[in-house]
Amino acid sequence: MAPSGPACAQPSPAEPLSRSIFRKFLLMLCSLLTSLYVFYCLAERCQPGSGPVAGVPGRGVPAGPRDLAAWPAGAQRKRLLQLRQRRRRGRPGPDDSSDQDEQSPGLAAAPGGSGAGSSLVEAQSGTLALLLDEGSKQLPQAIIIGVKKGGTRALLEFLRVHPDVRAVGAEPHFFDRSYHKGLAWYRDLMPRTLEGQITMEKTPSYFVTREAPARISAMSKDTKLIVVVRDPVTRAISDYTQTLSKRPDIPSFESLTFRNRSAGLIDTSWSAIQIGLYAKHLEPWLRHFPLGQMLFVSGERLVSDPAGELRRVQDFLGLKHIITDKHFYFNQTKGFPCLKKAEGSGKPHCLGKTKGRAHPVIAREVLRQLRDFYRPFNRKFYQMTGRDFGWDE
């Protein structure tokens, strides 16, 4: 028997009930998606305002614990330190990017080598330990001390991609201009490093600064020194070209080169010429550091065979061979190697517009006289370093 009463006469509540359920479902779905988004952000799997590809090592490509599990141990340490710095500062740009005039490439964003975590659990526990360890600022264990216009910026940026290298981008000029500020000030300029990482800096003027060898030795007698050298004639022209770009009204290269043009006397007081007397500048360094604690990098081979020179540098610093020829390609327009991926980007990257400037045409007779002038200094430098750089061929 059908029930009787007023309830039988009421319309069905099915339609409003369906709308209510739908609204609750949407609310729950939004809450779930929001929770997932927050979780992934806390796990460093996403970043507002960017479009990274998860799991690709690089400053601009965030990664979480699961991505880091596939990285080499050194790459994990470097990446986690960068993530901690990003959280402290907000969204940063590349490290020490103020040195615009000397800006050069980073290296490929994907560190090579082996040593991935043996399991996800181990990688996650290691990640937590690293996140709790903030790292510390150390005085540099290695310094690129010279020479100007030799390729020091390129070498530093190549090295900065190595997961076990942390370096200041801008030139500190501590041992030549700011020594009075003290080692505490100098240390504060350095990036934070984790155990097993090397702190580095580069200031090419150190090589020609009389006080620099003793000052660096006083900081640490174990400091490793790297000198990038280049054919002194080509280096002098490059030095002049840089100055000319800033001061177009300066005298010609020829007029600055000679103290007496008719007699062929070279003006060694001109810094562009004076810097190329490598043997003279090396002598005070050898009074404070053994030759085995110095590495001389060929600026020419850094262009023709960057991976080969980087292998020597990695050996000298006691680093694994992470940087190889797969990181480079040769840019015909600029005339030097570029990187397939920059440190903070997934795009190919070359030296900045201040690099690779076209040199002015110099008369052959001037070049001949300069080569004759430098020849005895070059030969002495070859004897002192035990390496023939082939500048007199």
Q: Which residues are annotated as a binding site for 3'-phosphoadenylyl sulfate?
A: 149-153, 230, 238, 355-359
Residues 6+ apart with CB under 8 A from 5: none
Cross-strand bridge partners of residue 227: 146, 296
CA angle 197, 203, 207 (to 5 degrees): 115
Q: Is 144 exposed, middle or buried (0-12, 13-18, 19+ CB in 10 A)?
A: buried
Q: Is 149 tagged catalytic? A: yes
**Cα first-last separation, the chain:** 116
Residues 6+ apart with CB under 8 A from 36: none
Rounded distance, CA 129 to CA 127, Å? 5
Rounded distance, CA 17 to CA 103, Å? 65
Rounded distance, CA 97 to CA 105, Å? 12
Q: Which residues are annotated as a binding site?
A: 149-153, 230, 238, 355-359
Take residue 340 and report the two structure tokens written for it: 């397939």
Rounded distance, CA 343 to CA 336, Å? 18
Cross-strand bridge partners of residue 347: none
Q: Which of 201, 70, 184 is nearest to 140 (CA)?
A: 201
Which residue of the set 78, 149, 202, 341 is catalytic?
A: 149
Q: Find how far residue 356's CA is from the centre of its chain.
A: 18
Rounded distance, CA 307 to CA 314, Å? 10
Catalytic residues: 149
